[in-house]
A and B are shown apart, each in its own frame.
Chain A
């Protein structure tokens, strides 16, 4: 578990560390969350923009990854397309199982639907990691992969 105060501290350090590594994360809303955006080219050649946020979840008291993908006119991309074409989750995984991991819910700050990786297992996973590195970097090394975020090599865990 992580207190909100600690989360904010960690988030600030995280953003600084990321910018040293030429990764463009920014603090938003006075440090309530961090945001990163980039373009992605899909196999079909279509270009989509990815919007990724790290927010504190007050219920589970852990960080949560929120994300969404948009067409270039700003329309959010539908769930099935996000799952199959962007996150490349194999057809063999049933949509009920995917929906348990990746939930669609109201973004606590923006107030519109975004995806998030459900934080109910985060505490357990973070305990198992037992790392001395920054909490958020360890956490992102686990959760970032699920949305295709790879940490810069210089930050990889040893």
Chain B
């Protein structure tokens, strides 16, 4: 289990080592053919900032070599905003007195059709954590209903058990995203004060359970801005490195959610600048040629227009972060405010103008395990 690796590291020691990186460490990391986690530290360190152009160039070339001139299109599909967790940064937090909504079967179908009509074939199902209303059985039903419309289904929901993942896969699930939010054990508790999510180690073991279940793709990441992003990103890379070695048949994807204003929440003082986010994205690519790097509509138009050539391989567009947002109940409460509000069509044209092809379909159900 990853905890065995994780327990050998100490937050402050890692943090100090990143902040004491020198320019020569950075130059060495840039010149190498194969890079390790120490090189990743160098690339995300403050000492690498003066070399950002070089990093961007390298990231651009490595990405193009592996993925060509393509960008995968996906869209989130919120099923519910019910949640029993109290998380200080989230609009769905249990203590937020908002109107709760969980889509019925009929509404799920209506939303699925609306999303399909936007051109999408890869969707990401999102819920809060509410065992009574959006437990495993609800997810099973939802996947069964939605599966005929799309080639690729991902979920971003509460951590589940290994057998649940296996079962959901047999219903058509391809990918599971589960973000640790932060690897700072102590402060994790102050951001997640109540509910099942407050159990740090259960969440930490989730990618292991997903890996063992045979799910094809796992997404990990942290909520950038909760704690020191450099230290948190090192731990994310450490987690990824462990997973790649143990679950070697699984694909991996990393996302870069930066804290955004949500209902009843003010951003703490750890946010990273645009420059630092570019640095982080490039560092991941330089470490790992083959992983999928994903960017959401949390980011601004200008940032997204420019980042697609620098390492990102997957992008959402026209997202609604509220259940029913596409057709059923367009005004229900959003999880967070999106920044880039352009339509999928507009994003698609923007991508094409840059000489890239927006890819709507990159999976087929006929390739799935038939057990």
- Please say whether chains A and B are actual partners in one complex: no
